[in-house]
Structure 1
């Protein structure tokens, strides 16, 4: 495996200058997640994927999990359909090592036992774009940003007084999806309000291969409300308030047998108030934010013919955060231009109350902790072709630990060849969750208040090359990135508690190819090769497949018609002992590998008239029964027909 990674990276590095005879540079796209300073995408020394609102609609992505499925370096592991648990492994890092933001506000639920985010819950109706930063980002965002950051950016207000938008769709499995919203600007004030929902009977999440399956469907009822009010009294000064509420009610299955009356209710309320102004003729931008999240989860399993047991589990997690951020535009220094210094202080308090299970194995957590951090980052452009960044942050978590993290990177532009070369490195840390520190399970388990944070050190080297061919200046863009990371002090269950005992070695290659052979045709191909192993045992880590390949295309054969097919291949992935099941429902006591899986989706949309679009979405058209997580089957074939409008 290691030889394959090194050989592939070396081959691509050698091929880049050979393939380029002349080149055209792609139009820059501005992002904020990677540096906290609005920066053109091509000048950021990090691996970034941007999913725009146009792509969300043309590809038929209704949920966050669907939208992330084709991101290079990212492996999605859902345990069922929409609303069910879905984990993300970014560059082989654990699912608790990905930080999720909404307009910069952390969304990871403090009451989740490992601090991981559930990617199966969120709908995208009010989301304008998704920015995915791969690689350690703790120097910017602190704990949990070991593998990377996913930032959801909500829709912006329209410049006119009233701009409505919405959609309505229905299809197989009793699915109905709809939403209605409006934005506008009236003088110095602007607003956004939206409501959306999804209802479906769904599919049976438990694999059909199990001999004792009931084949009962696991449905979902999901809804979300969003409201944002903004005030811009003068140029460069803005005050904005946001509220967002989401609630999902869903059926649950267990493995290896169905559970006909197990249900869940997952709610989140998020709000923020932020103010920002420019000082010193725009050289200094300073802003303050106060934000909160409240997560409520409840799971109920009543007695049935298969089991007389009854459980009612409740989880409550809250976070209150304060953030003071600044950007100072720096003067040029001859060969150094476009300088910016970003610095700030953040403080957050997390509280958790959980009560789950029945005695004598009842799980309890009732705890809180504070964290305070200061961060600083510097960026400059040198000789008008090299962009450099460096950042440092120190986090003090509770009274038990502190962590200092860093990140540095460089992008070197070769416009003569249409090439961009990137190199970066950084450290990360992941504080233990409140359950890991203070949780109890009857008398059989006690958390470890003396846990240390998980820590990582990672590097990446890569680049992109624009290829003009057949008379088209933007015919193709070829990309390759090699990454490596070492993670230590991993937290695992040990005996009747948890301890920092494990280490992991992660490395891989992300290969991308975007082709634009004709004005009516474009396609993207991504291939991620990952080698993730336990540093002590040398065994592969569970649920990290060696190969993930995704292919997407955009065809416009007629004016107003867009056809967007998507093909996803996931290679074999290991499962730990007792996590793999035979067809009769018994578990294997040794490590196994999940089989490969291929999914094919396609969405077609047609502009009926200006502002009105009709669409058809087909999912898993091959009706694959692939199990992304052993025992949990991917949803079957489905079709949705609808219309959306926006004026």
Structure 2
């Protein structure tokens, strides 16, 4: 970790939506609040918490979730192809299935994916108000799938008319229109987004693969709320998307005619009632995914999840708390076409106590009873202490678990002459400490974090080269140790700077080999500027080399440095012209070994607001 590497890498991950408006007025950084903790918490006091909001997404010119999540320290985003290639997130070294993804509170992980992981490739950000990232074991809050952490998306409430259009390299066209009405009593709005590109070759063109692979994505959504009275309110949202992507497969990866289609939706309906001195929330959420691959070995997989939740929030004196109960049910298809059902019933409680003006303590406890794999109790405790002179010391310890996925539960794609092993839920323990600093004039803030995450009984697909038996087994034990550095500053003259860097040592404890697709060094830096009419941001992102599989002889993907430039010019209050250039230096690089990424490319557009 050298000073030059830190300054050459980094990321804009914490600037909240009100930040840029406030900068123009008083040049200060506002306090950011995270809500995926079930009780609202200040980011500076919450280890592992980060917020990306709509203003930051717009400043960066990010189109899909994978475009911006890679800049969050502790997250490794792997994308198997630039447009429409499977994009998965590894949080704190944990495998992709150990990141829980929520959309307006609805869990959307793919139950039919072998590890239960979510594919971010077609997740359009046009309707997203904020992204909250909670790193580290969060099972005490959200149960299974949250060993690495949680990524929670919140959609926008629309008031007025919004439209935008963009065109550029690779015959790419993108459009979005949203309309809605909102007041104190009710709100209702909807939107449609469309993205279409001829793309580049999914297989790296430098390896002799000239065929362009296209990608199409459509996203439609609706969101509304209605206050019956000051004590009774209803709200809900629904989101549907459909994608078609040309693929390249094989060993090695090469041009072919393979393609995939996917369709997914998620939605939530919620009632909020003030009663007995508490705020009660009753919600029902659901998600459904269907994905089909057209190839020599084509397949169709379907999955759905439902969650029924009651949560009560309250406050008394120096204590803020929440407790409740949940029932989650999921089903997913396997290679035979059969559908497998899993379910979990849970109770939870979390609370924060303000011991003094300087010290706060937060704790949580959860009991999960799975239908097929027994029960598990998880907990988390954290504390934050204001040391004075702008410094805040915080720390956390927590446990997590993950029940076997649908594929693992029935041992899909397994072949064995002996009975398959009985699987146990994976379990984890993590702890971290952070020191943060905020200047007295609220223009600069920084945070340094160290953490450890250990996962035991990790489920691995095992293949015996002697007997040719293959099956899932609890065999692996992994550990991740890391240092994360991040900061942001208002520089004056309309300029702002955001930095982040992560050194990550993730390895298989049974073999000592570095875990696949997690670079040891990663980070980015964003220099933004906001004027009366012109605004923009230059982002430089870098990753070190990474192993492609969990094998001692695995090939290694080279490190890279790329830069993106995004700009906007406001003609008036209603019309803004936009332009962005990706891969400014025309760097040849790969996020995943064998898969191509675009060279220098440019896009221009227009944005309308009424």
Same fold at TM > 0.5: yes
Q: Which residue of structure 1 aligns with residue 451 of structure 2? A: 483
Q: Which residue of structure 2 aligns with residue 547 of structure 1? A: 521
Q: Which residue of structure 1 aligns with residue 176 of structure 2? A: 179
TM-score w.r.t. length of structure 2: 0.91
Q: Distance in 2 between matches of 1:551 and 1:443?
A: 48
In structure 2, which of residues 321, 327, 332 is the aligned counterpart of residue 347 of structure 1? 327
2:76 and 2:518 in contact (8 A); partners too? yes
Q: Distance in 2 between matches of 1:437 and 1:365?
A: 13
1:205 aligned onto 2:208: no
1:367 and 1:434 in contact (8 A); partners too? yes
1:437 and 1:451 in contact (8 A); partners too? yes
1:250 aligned onto 2:218: no
1:260 aligned onto 2:256: yes
Q: Distance in 2 between matches of 1:614 and 1:570?
A: 32
Q: CA deviation at 1:157?
A: 4.2
Q: 1:172 to 1:605 in 2, by over 3 A?
A: same
2:253 and 2:595 in contact (8 A); partners too? no
Identify the range of structure 1 (128-137 vs 256-265) with the bigger mean alpha-carbon deviation.
Answer: 256-265
Alpha-carbon displacement from aligned partner over 1:341-379 (angstroms, at most 9, x marks no partner): 210111011111234xxxxxxx55521111111101111
Q: Which residue of structure 2 aligns with residue 599 of structure 1? A: 562
Q: Distance in 1 between matches of 2:487 and 2:267?
A: 39
Q: Distance in 2 between matches of 1:449 and 1:244?
A: 39
1:504 and 1:533 in contact (8 A); partners too? yes
Pairing of 1:252-401 with structure 2 (within 5 A):
252-255=247-250, 256-280=252-276, 283-301=277-295, 310-330=296-316, 332=317, 337=318, 339-355=319-335, 365-401=338-374
In structure 2, which of residues 368, 391, 395 is the aligned counterpart of residue 423 of structure 1? 395
Q: CA deviation at 1:444?
A: 6.0
Q: 1:351 to 1:448 in 2, by over 3 A?
A: farther
Q: Distance in 2 between matches of 1:221 and 1:377?
A: 42
Q: Distance in 1 between matches of 2:412 and 2:107?
A: 26
1:195 aligned onto 2:192: yes
- SS across alignment from 1:287: strand
In structure 1, which of residues 230, 233, 236 is the aligned counterpart of residue 228 of structure 2? 233
Q: Distance in 1 between matches of 2:106 and 2:349?
A: 19
- For the aligned residue pairs, the C-alpha RMSD in angstroms reads 2.1
Alpha-carbon displacement from aligned partner over 1:176-202 (angstroms, at most 9, x marks no partner): 000101121367331011111100111
Q: Which residue of structure 2 aligns with residue 492 of structure 1? A: 460
Q: CA deviation at 1:208?
A: 2.7
Q: Which residue of structure 1 aligns with residue 408 of structure 2? A: 436
> Rg bigger for which structure?
1
Q: Distance in 2 between matches of 1:108 and 1:430?
A: 13
- SS across alignment from 1:609: coil
Q: 1:447 to 1:644 in 2, by over 3 A?
A: farther
Alpha-carbon displacement from aligned partner over 1:124-162 (angstroms, at most 9, x marks no partner): 11111111111110100011111111100000243xxxx
Q: Distance in 2 between matches of 1:447 and 1:527?
A: 46
Q: Distance in 1 between matches of 2:418 and 2:222?
A: 42
Q: CA deviation at 1:317?
A: 0.2
Q: Which residue of structure 1 aligns with residue 538 of structure 2? A: 565
1:462 and 1:482 in contact (8 A); partners too? yes
Pairing of 1:57-96 with structure 2 (within 5 A):
57-96=58-97
Q: Which residue of structure 2 aligns with residue 635 of structure 1? A: 598
- SS across alignment from 1:54: helix
Q: Distance in 1 between matches of 2:67 and 2:419?
A: 35
Q: Which residue of structure 1 aligns with residue 155 of structure 2? A: 154
Q: Distance in 1 between matches of 2:93 and 2:560?
A: 19
What is the count of residue pairs matched by the alignment?
Answer: 580
- SS across alignment from 2:538: strand
TM-score w.r.t. length of structure 1: 0.86
Q: Distance in 2 between matches of 1:37 and 1:366?
A: 36
- SS across alignment from 2:66: helix
Q: Distance in 2 between matches of 1:633 and 1:604?
A: 26
Q: Distance in 1 between matches of 2:54 and 2:548?
A: 35
Q: Distance in 1 between matches of 2:417 and 2:162?
A: 51
Q: CA deviation at 1:569?
A: 0.5
Q: Distance in 2 between matches of 1:634 and 1:59?
A: 19
Q: Which residue of structure 2 aligns with residue 513 of structure 1? A: 487
2:65 and 2:123 in contact (8 A); partners too? yes
